[in-house]
Copies of this chain bind each other. A is one copy, B any other.
Amino acid sequence: MPLLTTGKAAEEAGVGRETLRFYEREGLIEKPIRGNSGYRQYPPETIARVRFIRRAKELGFTLNEIRDLLALSDPPNAECAQFRAHAKSKIEEIRSKIGKLRKVERALSSLVDTCERSGTPQKCPILDALED
């Protein structure tokens, strides 16, 4: 059973029914084919795409940024040079995000360390973690 109705597809993708319609309106997923009743029939690729959207959102990407990200993997990819430039700037953005998260992680770890050694947490450089 490769094709799913809205309810099943939403459950599989981990979002609400209305979210699928919303993403369709927003052009984030393809309009699914319809049965003769007019019911939407979602292919597994769309489910995978929605799952990706959900996770990317948790990583701090907006729907517009996710649209860009998805466009990078969607054929046809017009100009290769243009594509590379776009992809590379996205990669840079992601690396910077990773670097910043690592700083927050280190700050929290050092807080836990201090706390484990001294028995009480000290005031600590979480705020410094994300300075320029």
Which A residues contact B (CB, under 8 angstroms)? 48-49, 51-52, 55-61, 69-70, 72-75, 77, 80, 83-84, 87-88, 90-91, 94-95, 97-98, 100-102, 104-105, 107-109, 111-112, 115-116, 119-121, 123-131
Which residues of chain B are within 8 angstroms of A73 by Cβ–Cβ distance? 107, 111, 123-127
The residue that A77 contacts in the complex, of B75, B101, B105, B121, with Cβ under 8 A, is B121
Q: How far is the CB of A131 from chain B (nearest CB, A)?
A: 7
Question: Is the Cβ of A91 less than 8 Å from the Cβ of B77?
Answer: no
Which residues of chain B are within 8 angstroms of A60 by Cβ–Cβ distance? 57-61
Please classify the interface of chain A as helix (H, G, I), strand (E, B), loop, or mixed, using the class held by over half of its residues.
helix
> Please, how many angstroms separate the alpha-carbon atoms of A3 and B129 in the complex?
23
Question: Is the Cβ of B88 less than 8 Å from the Cβ of A94?
Answer: no
> Please, how many angstroms separate the alpha-carbon atoms of A120 and B125 in the complex?
46
The residue that A129 contacts in the complex, of B49, B52, B127, with Cβ under 8 A, is B52
Considering the complex, give the chain B residue whose CB is closest to the CB of A55: B130
Contact A56/B111 with A97-B101, A101-B101, A105-B91 known, Cβ cut-off 8 Å? no
